[in-house]
Amino acid sequence: MATVFLNKSHLFYNLDKISSVNPNILVVIKDNAYGHGIFSVSKMLKEYGIKKVCVRNVDEANLVRDFEEILIFNPPANRNAINFSYAINSLTQLKKNRHPYIHLKIDTGFRRNGILEDELDEALEIVLKKEFEIRGVFSHFCCADEVGCDTFIQYDKFLKIKEKIEKFCQNHNLKRPYFHIANSASLFKLPDTLDYVRPGIAIYGGIEGFKPVMSLVADVVSVRELDSKEGCGYNKTFMSDEKIKISTIDIGYADGIPYFKNGCKLKDTVALGKISMDYMIVKGEFKKVVVFDDIKEFVKNFDTITYDILVKISPRIKRRIIESNNGNST
């Protein structure tokens, strides 16, 4: 059976690198920890000392509810646990919200969601009237992975809003919230990462400069010989020009591997022809096959991004934590 291995030493390396910029880390573990497995990743984060995390919804929050604070990006309106914080993505949501602990999201230029700059005064008055506690204020960059001025335009807007909210809190004797805007791609670009950083893909090693946490290993279910001029797989899109050994491994597009028609480069071999729903055929004779141990390399097979592959790796596949490259697991 295929297995996802999670390298704890790589995860801790990535956390150490981020901590060198700002030790206050609000780790994004939404969407099953970017496909890595929310239970396994949470266990390692707690061991490292992480206190605050971000999730997609209440269902995910309930799976990891013993963190000090859990920021829910897409929350309901009802009241909930005291350590749950609701991201407020619009003025309409704020008006309907009944949970007292919130993070105000500010739209500084992404234009996806968030409180608009000209809505901020009204939003703060609602906060005052409903006696909400603003635990945090944040925004999100749209172009931090590119060279350009958009990130710094957004950053400057956020600093002005930060100053306005701080003054509001001071004038009304409210606790100052913490501010966070630094995502993975902006960690080493900003002059000041403010109170907390909020990395996602960097934690998992899905961008350059960080070590990959996930490796995917499949078991071999059959081995056979392919004669010269013989094909294999659906529609025989691969035809061998020599006599070779082939192995069928127990992973396919139903497990989250992107669909391909004409082969795919794996760690130590190549897949041949079309991928099947539950299997792929690879060149050579093996007992196990490393599909990938660095998502940054595997993604080069496809016209997509590392996130897209990672989040789709099936939760049915067993996750095992390994201490380091020596393969010891827990």
Q: Is the CATH number 3.20.20.10 carried by domain 8-197?
A: yes
Residue 324: what pLDDT?
74
Q: CA-CA distances (angstroms) from residue 112 to 109, 145, 187?
A: 8, 17, 21
Examine the residue annotation and report whether 30 is marked as an active-site residue of this protein: yes
Selecting among 95, 130, 234, 265, the annotated active-site residue is 234
Distance CA 237, CA 262 (A): 6
With contact defined as beta carbons under 8 Å apart, do 291 and 317 qualify? no
pLDDT value at residue 1: 87
* Selected catalytic residue, list 8, 30, 52, 283: 30
Structure tokens at 33: 């920890």
Per-residue pLDDT of the chain (330 residues; tens, 9 = 90+): 899 999 999 999 999 999 999 999 999 999 999 999 999 999 999 999 999 999 999 999 999 999 999 999 999 999 999 999 999 999 999 999 999 999 999 999 999 999 999 999 999 999 999 999 999 999 999 999 999 999 999 999 999 999 999 999 999 999 999 999 999 999 999 999 999 999 999 999 999 999 999 999 999 999 999 999 999 999 999 999 999 999 999 999 999 999 999 999 999 999 999 999 999 999 999 999 999 999 999 999 999 999 999 999 999 999 999 997 555 555
Q: Whole-model pTM?
A: 0.95
Specify the pLDDT at position 274: 98
What is the per-residue DSSP string for 66-107?
Answer: TSSEEEESS--SS---TTEEEEE-SHHHHHH---SEEEEEB-
pLDDT score at 289: 98
Closest CA to 148 of 98, 114, 113, 109: 109
Q: Distance between CA atoms of 148 and 77, rounded to whole angstroms? A: 37
For position 315, what pLDDT does the model report?
97
Q: Which CATH topology does 214-293 take?
A: Lyase, Ornithine Decarboxylase; Chain A, domain 1 (2.40.37)
Q: Cβ distance 53 to 71 under 8 Å?
A: yes
Q: What residue type is assigned to position 132 of the chain?
A: F
| Residue whose pair of structure tokens reads 């591997």 in the numeric block | 257
**Any idea what DSSP says for residue 156?**
H
Q: Are 61 and 55 in contact (CB under 8 A)?
A: yes
Position 329 scores a pLDDT of 58
CA–CA distance, 133 with 59 (Å, rounded to integer): 23
Per-domain residue ranges of the chain = 8-197, 214-293
